[in-house]
Amino acid sequence: MNVSLQNIDKVSALLTIKLEKADYQEQVEKSLKNIRQKAQVPGFRQGMVL
């Protein structure tokens, strides 16, 4: 994650945040795994997936 602050004048500033895929990829994978395990789909058993 890149964070930069650029002062424009005495009372104003520009804050820029650049996110990269690596910054949030682990949390996305963890959430997807959790959703896959708890999904309720008619006709399928709840449980382990690859």
pTM exceeding 0.75: no
pLDDT one-digit tens code per residue, 24-45: 999 999 999 998 888 787 877 7
pLDDT for res 9 = 94
- Read off the pLDDT band of 47 (50, 70, 90): low
49 in Cβ contact with 37 (< 8 Å): yes
- Name residues whose C-beta falls within 8 Å of residue 18's C-beta, 6 or more positions apart in sequence: 1, 2, 3
pLDDT for res 8 = 95
Residues 17, 5: Cα–Cα separation, whole Å: 9
- Name residues whose C-beta falls within 8 Å of residue 24's C-beta, 6 or more positions apart in sequence: none
Q: Mean of the pLDDT values across residues 2-20?
A: 95
Residue from 14, 13, 19, 17 nearest 3 by CA: 17
